[in-house]
Chains A and B, each alone.
Chain A
Amino acid sequence: MTSIMNEHPQAARIHETAGRGLAIHCSGVTKGFTAGGNTIRALRGIDLDVRLGELAMLVGPSGCGKTTLISVVAGILDRDEGECRVFGQDFATMSARQKTRFRGQTVGFVFQQFNLLPALTAAQNVAVPLLINGVAHAAAIKAAKEMLDRVGLGERTESLPKQLSGGQQQRVAIARAMVHRPRLIVCDEPTSALDHETGHTVMRLLKNVALDEDRALVIVTHDARIFGFADRIFKMDDGRIVDVVRNPSASIGASGGDAHA
C-alpha cells in the first residue's frame, strides 16, 4: 500500500474491506452551485465506478458536469450528497489538511491550459509535486529529469514553458502529474489544445507510463480522436451518467474516430 495508507490505518481498513478492485466508487453524488441566487445542479446523482488499472473517459456536452465530477473525485471540490470513495477513502471524513495531503500524494493533475509555472524550467515544473511533498530540491530535480526523459523531453529539461510547443508543454504537464507516482491521475481536456498526432503521443504516454494495475486514470474530453484509448467511456448529460461504452477501441478502433459515427 502507499504511504498514505500507512498513515491512516483506519482508512486502510476501509480500503481492505471496501476495495474490491475499485479505484473510485461514487453513488448518488450531487453537487450544486449557487450563483446570483440561482442554484445550478451540476451533478444530479452520479453513480460511477472506476476500476484499478482502468482508463476511464468522461464525455458529454458542455456544462453537463464533467469538470465538476473530476473535481469531486480528485478532492478539490466537496460533494453535497451521496457517497464517494477514492482507493477506499472518503474525503468527507478527512480534515482539510488530510485532504490536501491526500491530493499531494495520491492524485496527479493534468489541466487543459497546462498551468505550468512560466518562470520555472521544465525540470523545475515537473519537480513541483515532489517539492510540495517535502522532497529535497536536488532529489526532486533529478527525479523530474528522469520523468521528462520518459516523456521524450530529456533534452529540454532547462527550457522555459514559453520556449516549448503546446504539445511539449502538455508532455511536461503529464510528467509533472506522474513524477510522484500518484495512484490516480485526473485530466481535463488534455488534448484539446493539441493536434491529432500530438494528442495521440500524449495519450500513449498517459496510458503506458501512468497506468498499471494499482492505478487509475480519469480523463475528461471532447476529443473523439482519443476515445480509442479508453477502457470505458462514461457519457454524461445534465449532471448524470447516461451511458457507458465498454472497450471502445474494439468498436471504434484504436486509431480513433467519431464515437457517434
Chain B
Amino acid sequence: MNFIALRMLTGDRAKYLGIVFGVMLSALLISHQVTIFVGLMSRTRSVFQTLDHADLIVADAATEFVEDVRPLADTAADRVRGVGGVEWAVPMVRTTIKARLEGGKSRTCIVVGLDDATLIGGPSQMVEGAVEDLRLPDAVIIDHLDAQKLLSVRGADGALRVPGVGDWIELNDRQCRIVGISHNPRPFLSQPIIYTTLTRAQSIAPPERRTISYVLARTQPGADVALVKSAIADATGLNAYSRREFGFKTIGYYIRNTGIPVNFGVTVLLGCIVGIAISGQTFYLFILDNLRTLAALKAMGASTMQLVRMVLLQASVVGVQGFAVGVGLTAAFFVYYIGTDLEFDLHWEVLGLTAMVIVLVILCATAAGVAKVLRVQPALVFRG
C-alpha cells in the first residue's frame, strides 16, 4: 500500500511539487528567520565570549543588560577582591567615544579599557599583532570587520583605504595608534569595538565617562559560586553574575523591550500560514482529484486506516522533502554570508524547532484531506 501511496503522490508531478514547495517555503522562512533571531539575540551577549578567564561579572545592581553601563566606584575592584572565595578581580571600562573619520565625519565606537596590569578581557582572537602590544604608547586594537567602518586613512595615492597596523586614528581628539587587528564575535550593535588599556580609555573618554563599568572576577577553585556571588552582593552592594546569567539577562531585556521578537515572530507566523495555505490547498486538491481512486480502493477492500496511512505517508514524504530543501536553502544562505555581518550559526535546536513547526504545518495542511478520506464513500466509484 505504501508503494501505491508513493506512486499516487509522484504521479501528479505538478501537485506533488506544489506541496513540497509550500512546505519548503515554510521551512526556509522559519529556519532562516529563527536563525537570524537566535543569532542576533546571542550577539547581545557576544561581549562575554571574550571574558573567558573571568567566571563572574560584577555590575551595578540596577544594570539591566550588558550595554546598560552604570558607573562603579574606582574602588569596586578592590572591594570585590576582598570578598572571601574571590581569586582575583580586575576593573573594566566600557564606554562610547567618537572617532573622527575622513572628511569631518565621525563614528561612535565602543571603547573597552582593559586592566593595565593583566589586560584581562581582551580580544580572544588576533588577526594581526598581540594583545600585549596595548602596552605601547597610544596603542589601540580594532576589529578586522570594523576596519572598513573606520575609513580615515589615505594611501600614498591619496585614496581612502582601510586602516591597518601602524595607522593612526583619532578618538575624541586624541591620536591613537593601531597596534593590532582582532577578530571578535559579531556584536549586536554595529558600533566598531576598540580595545585599549583602562588608563588610556579613561584619559580618552570625556570626564563624565571615566568611571569603571564592570569588575571581572574569578572564584577560587572549589569555591561555591553561588555563595561567592551573594558574598559579593553583601559586601559591595553590587550584583555578581555568571557570564551565562548576564547573557540571558541581556537577551531577556532585548526580548522584553524591543520589537525584535515581534518582528521575527510575525515573519515566522507568515511562513507557517503561507506554507499551510499553499501545501494545504494543493494537498486538498490532490486528495479531491484522487477521491475516486481512494473510493475504488475502499470498495476493493482497503480499510479506512489503510487509506489514512497512505495519506499520512504522502504527507510525511512531502514534509521531509520540503523540510530538507528549505533548511538546505537556509544553510546555503548562511554559508554564502560567512565572514560578513550576516554570518550566523545554524543551531540544531533551530532545525529541531523548524521540524516541529513543519510537522504542525503538515498536520494542518493535511487535516482537511484526511477528513475527506475518512468520509469517502466507496459507493462513489459507481457514480458517473
Which A positions have Cβ atoms within 8 angstroms of B? 67, 70-71, 74, 76-77, 96-97, 100-105, 107, 109, 111-113, 115, 117-120, 124, 128-129, 131-133, 137, 188
Contacts and interface: CB of A to CB of B under 8 A. Distances in A.
Interface string B4-21: 100110111000000000
Contacts of B4: 117, 120, 124, 128, 131
A124 B298 CA distance: 17
Nearest to B293: A117
A131 B1 contact: yes
B3 A105 contact: no
A105 B300 CA distance: 8
B259 interface: no
A32 B3 CA distance: 38
A195 to B, nearest CB: 20
A189 B315 CA distance: 35
Contact of A103 (B10, B299, B382): B299
Contacts of A129: 300-301
A119 B3 CA distance: 11
Contacts of A102: 301
A63 to B, nearest CB: 12
Contacts of B342: none
A119 B297 contact: no
A76 B296 contact: no
A102 B4 CA distance: 21
A119 B379 contact: no
Contact of A97 (B8, B293, B300, B303): B303
Contacts of B382: 67, 70-71, 76, 111-112, 188
A5 to B, nearest CB: 16
A109 B298 CA distance: 11
Contacts of B148: none
A97 B301 CA distance: 9
Contact of B12 (A70, A119, A120): A119
Contact of A117 (B7, B10, B299, B384): B7
Nearest to A188: B382
A96 B303 CA distance: 9
Given A117-B293, A118-B11, A100 B302 contact: yes
Contacts of A70: 382
A129 B297 CA distance: 8
B303 A100 contact: yes
B378 interface: yes
Given A115-B292, A115-B293, A119-B12, A128 B300 contact: yes
B353 interface: no
Interface in B294-327: 296-304, 306
Interface in B129-161: none
Interface string B346-382: 0000000000000000000000000000000111011
B134 to A, nearest CB: 71
A118 B292 CA distance: 12
A137 to B, nearest CB: 6
A152 to B, nearest CB: 23
Nearest to A114: B296
A115 B302 contact: no
Contacts of B304: 96, 100
Contacts of B12: 119
17 contacts: A76-B382, A77-B379, A100-B298, A100-B302, A100-B303, A103-B378, A111-B296, A113-B292, A115-B296, A118-B11, A119-B8, A119-B10, A119-B11, A120-B11, A128-B4, A128-B297, A132-B301
B152 to A, nearest CB: 67
A20 B382 CA distance: 30
Interface in B185-229: none
Residue with the highest number of chain A CB atoms closer than 10 Å, among B3, B299, B383 = B299
Contact of A109 (B7, B8, B293, B299): B299
Contacts of A124: 3-4, 7
